[in-house]
Amino acid sequence: MTKIKNKTVLVTGGANGIGKLIGEKCLKKGASKLIIWDINETLLQQVTTDLTKKGYEVHSYVVDVSDLNDIKTTAAEILAEIGTVDILFNNAGIVVGKKFEQHTTRDIEKTIGINVLGVMHVAHAFLPGMLQMHRGHIINIASATGLMPNPNMSVYVASKYAVLGWSESLRIEQDQAHSGVNVTTICPSYINTGMFEGAKAPLLTPILEPEYISNRIIEAVEKDEIMVMEPPIVRTLPALRGLLPARAFDYLASKVFNIYDSMSEFKGRPKDVAVPDKKKPVS
């Protein structure tokens, strides 16, 4: 069982949405230090100030997780000045909600860079310290879309397929090595944070509230759960897809559950601030 109390926790994409809630909940659980990475300097400064005023130890950095040099430089600074990270939440992610041919090459590269390479590179930077301590926990925020296709978000879906496969493979490697490092993969449906503004809830798949899913994630960490799939229907649909012929499942997903139409009116949240030229600590 993973104990959050007295641990050093790092959350990428931790200045808003479920990342912010996860960080706050870890501090309330007794985490000794919270390290927040985010690309939005304004929001990062706000959450750092708020949490510091409450007496918590918070270290915040403006980091673009699609930039390997940014990751390496910041990770080295943290390991030298703060110490080993005990619990890592790979939460940062972006979505482009449009047909594949409407994606720009930057859309494709940025989505894969943040959602896939960023997740792997951040874990790669902090895993050696966990292995040396023979303990640690890596939590990777994938998606229900990593379990099945969905039109109008093809590159995002591809990124979450990749995260799911990598995360599960990493978990098995750690289990086989008896390394003491736990890996948990989170596969939620749409969450009401603004990131999926305009997305329509499929049948039996309510839009998840941030408070609920962040609590569920913390619970999964404390219980060393392997995978979280929320809401419950998310556990069922991949099984149906495996059992039914492809066209039959397409009909079910499209005409009955309305999954394939869920992104047809997607708007998303307003664009974040521009990517900074280089990483700098906020506090």
Task: State phi, psi for 9 to the nearest 5 degrees.
Answer: -115, 135
Q: Is 114 helix (H, G, I), strand (E, B) or coil?
A: helix
Q: What angle do CA 217, 223, 224 make, to 5 degrees?
A: 85
First to last CA, the chain: 31
- Side by side, which strands form the sheet with 181-188? 227-230, 181-188, 136-141, 87-90, 8-12, 33-38, 58-62, 280-281
Q: Is 156 a catalytic residue?
A: yes
What are the b/e assignments for 144-153, b being 16+ CB within 10 Å? bbbbbbbebb
For residue 272, give the nearest of 48, 73, 110, 72 by alpha carbon: 110
Alpha-carbon Rg for the chain, nearest whole angstrom, is: 18
Q: Which secondary structure element, helix H or strand E, spans residue 273, and what is its range?
A: none
Assigned token pair, 272: 């974040």
Cα 110 to chain centroid distance, Å, stands at 15
**Integer Cα distance of 243 and 238 in angstroms:** 9
**Integer Cα distance of 83 and 282 in angstroms:** 18
Assigned token pair, 87: 């619990």
Which entry of 56, 61, 156, 260 is annotated as an active-site residue?
Answer: 156
Assigned token pair, 60: 């915040």
Catalytic positions: 156
